[in-house]
Structure formats: C-alpha cells, structure tokens
Structure 1
Amino acid sequence: MSEYYVYSTLTGSQAYHIYRNGGADLPLVDRVVMVAGGANVADKHFVTPKGVVTPITADELELLEKNPVFAVHKANGFITVEEKAIPVEKVVSDLEARDESAPLTDSDFIAKDQKPPKVVTNKKSA
C-alpha cells in the first residue's frame, strides 16, 4: 500500500534515477522511481487532465528527496508530495499550471497577440 502521493503538472513522465558509485568512480544506476506525467495532454477520450498523481512508498520518497532533478521540479512548483490521497484537481490548483513541453493552445497564441493557426483537414472527394 502506498504511503505517499506525488502530484504533478508535468507533461511527460519522469524517471528519476538514483545512482551509486561503481568501479573507476563511474556512477551506476541503482534504482529508478517513475512519476507519471500526462498533465495538459488529451487522452484517447479527449479528456485533458490538469495534473496526475503517482502513489509511492516511503522508501521511494526518501530516494526522491535526495534526487537533484526532483528537487528542481518541486522548487519550481511542478510537483508536490502529500501523505493522503486528495482529489487531483484540488492539489494541482496550487501548482504551476503547465511546463514548457505542454502542447500549445489557442490561448497561447492570443496571449502573444497572434492569430491561432487554422486546422486543415484532408478531405478526399469521391
């Protein structure tokens, strides 16, 4: 059973690598903790979640807290960790809305005083 929940507004899933020292001072991957992405990306049902949640164990949280990339994502407001399951929409409302890899929307163009591109469909005539 999960003891903690990582809430994320990152578009892509993140594989946080935990390294150990190998021979000749070369770092070797010891463990990988995956945190789900998918915020701001429409799924096959055309639902676009504002954030996602990944259940993790206390062990994994301890490893993540030592990971510098996880620390940057947390400091920049894309990730938060909670001890109990809370509705995703409630938690992510306090996080950064989207990262730089999120797909562009019409409002992105309008905000820059540009016209949104027109969608072109290829219709075959019979």
Structure 2
Amino acid sequence: MAVEGTQTKARREFRNIHVTELMNYRQPFSAIVSIMHRVSGFLMFLLLPFILYLLQESIRSEISFAHFQGIASHPLAKLVILALVWGYMHHFCAGIRHLVMDTHVGLDKDSARKSAVSVLVVTWAVVIVVALKLFGVF
C-alpha cells in the first residue's frame, strides 16, 4: 500500500525459466566453476578403468610398456588423456578454491568471482601446456 506522495519501486519479477530459455540465461563464473567441478569429478570416476588399465600396462613389464606407448600414441587416446588432465586440474583447482571458501575467506561477490576466474585461467593454462607437449609441439 503506497502512501500519497511516495514513489513505489517496481519489483523485479522472478519466474521459473523454461528449458528453451536456458541458452539465454547467463551463469556467473562461480556457478560455472561449481558445475564443472562436479562434471570433472564424474569424468574422472568414469575414466577410472582406463586410467588403471594404462597404469597396469605401464608398470607390468617391458613388453606391456611398449604396448602402453602404442596405446598412448594414438590420437584418440591423447584426447582422452587430455580430458583427464583437464578433469584433474579443474577438480584440483576448484577443490582448493572450495576449501579456502570453507574457511570463510573470499565469500563476498567480487572475491568469489575473481577466484572463479583464476580457477578457469590456471586450469586452461595448464591444459594448453600439456596439450602442446602431448601433441609434440614442444
């Protein structure tokens, strides 16, 4: 109820979004890092048998190590290894961020945004360096 002579501010309308509107909705960096933290953990869990198989092939004998080198030199295997590097690095960096935030440091909006962006930058910097090394650029 508005009193005469005062202005009422129009309230923002909050509504549920439809699935077709998801592409128009912009997530903050903190949400992207949090979602990707879950995705990277799931990716590492799914690829655990592949990781264990490669580990077994690399340490069993000289012949199995040669077999491991053959598997690891395949371009598809390199992409899977690169996905695992991304998953590990993102999960590690985001996990450190979450641990720091659990100590009530960096909870304000600006600090949370900066730490989320730093997680993304560090993760992608390491992944790019590993990709360059993995695909033989240097």
Same fold (TM over 0.5): no
TM-score between the two structures when normalised by the length of structure 1: 0.21
Q: Per residue, is there more helix in 1 or in 2? A: 2
Higher radius of gyration, 1 or 2: 2
Structure number with the higher strand fraction is 1
TM-score, normalising length from structure 2? 0.20
